[in-house]
Amino acid sequence: MSAQLDLRCRCGAVRGTVSNAAPQSANRVVCYCDDCQAFMHRLGRADLLDAHGGTDIVQVAPSSLSFVQGQDKIAGVRLTPKGLFRWHTTCCNTPVGNTLTPSVPFVGIVAQAFDGGASRADEAFGNPIGAIQGKYAVGEAPKGSTGLNLALIARAIGKVLGWRLRGKAWPHPFFKRETGEPIYPLTVLSQQQRDALRPLCGPHPAAPAAGRT
């Protein structure tokens, strides 16, 4: 049974909703890539990573996510000029969505951003169906997170194509339909800023988690 699921940032200033929240309407995976780790360290939110540096992500159709409060406290960052758009709040540095351009319609939401946390995401979407990029995991890579998971890839592609064909790319919570430009302020890290995050990530991080803004 589908339902509406609320989002809220850590301090409660930014709130949103995901409609049609159900296992069949989403794709949920744990990503161990060093970019996801770097983003959390950039925000000073390494507390949202699991013990191996994984990020629990629920991918939904763009049109299913809308913000109802605190839009003036949303901003984006790209770790590189062509990297993912990674959206977060400026009030308490809570990640609220990862996207590519609107032509690839999906929004990846960190499970802990849902009101009620990851346990509420479990109820609405079911448990993660797989893990990816385990070669970047901290310590020993979790089972099944390395190698090529064709079933997981096929499911993700199928979801994105389905959302596009069914018109679920718009309205988009982060981009303007008329121009395709971001709605919110965006920062692109310099090479120096990106490189400064690398020692914090990967199999053998050289430093403990630290807040970076």
The tens digit of pLDDT for each residue in 145-171 reads 999 899 999 999 999 999 999 999 999
Whether residue 171 has a cis bond before it, omega within 30° of 0? yes
Mean pLDDT of all residues belonging to the chain: 94
How many CB atoms are closer than 10 A to CB 104? 13
Helix (H, G, I), strand (E, B) or coil at 172: coil
> Tell me, what's the pLDDT at 211?
43
The tens digit of pLDDT for each residue in 66-120 reads 999 999 999 999 999 999 999 999 999 999 999 999 999 999 999 999 999 999 9
For residue 183, which amino acid is it? I
In angstroms, the CA 170 to CA 163 distance is: 10
pTM exceeds cut of 0.85: yes
> Tell me, what's the pLDDT at 166?
96
What confidence category does residue 213 fall into, taking pLDDT thresholds of 50, 70 and 90? very low
The structure tokens 């395709």 sit at 180
